[in-house]
Structure 1
Amino acid sequence: MESFEDLLNMLERPATKSRAVKRKWREIEAVKERQRLKRELEDIDWTIEPELVDIELS
């Protein structure tokens, strides 16, 4: 029976590995998205905002 259990273990391992790889890629993509958003926020010129308020009030 050990060989049958070994076969079952072999069949289960790739699925587990695949899930781990997918999870890892999701984590990587989430980190990349946070970095992209951070760069985008850093690129915003926050000094423009007061001028827009003045224009709206006029």
Structure 2
Amino acid sequence: MKKLLTLETWAGLRYPDHTPSIRVLRAWVKAGKIQPQPIRHGKYYRVREDAKFYDPYEGISE
């Protein structure tokens, strides 16, 4: 099983130079742009460490 990270930690690893804000990350989750889909644990989202940003109009970006 893959390790689960918080959205902020995942974003910091994926985008070290310019990490998106938590507001943007939550919008990505709601729009289904992070695959596999993050899971809500209490008030925090957990995302698999191997998750990728996905824009349905452009395909996988990473």
Which structure is higher in strand share? 2
TM-score by length of structure 2 reads 0.20
Instruction: Please say which structure displays the higher CA radius of gyration.
Output: 1
Which structure is higher in helix share? 1
Structure number with higher relative contact order (C-alpha < 8 Å, ≥ 6 residues apart): 2
TM-score by length of structure 1 reads 0.21
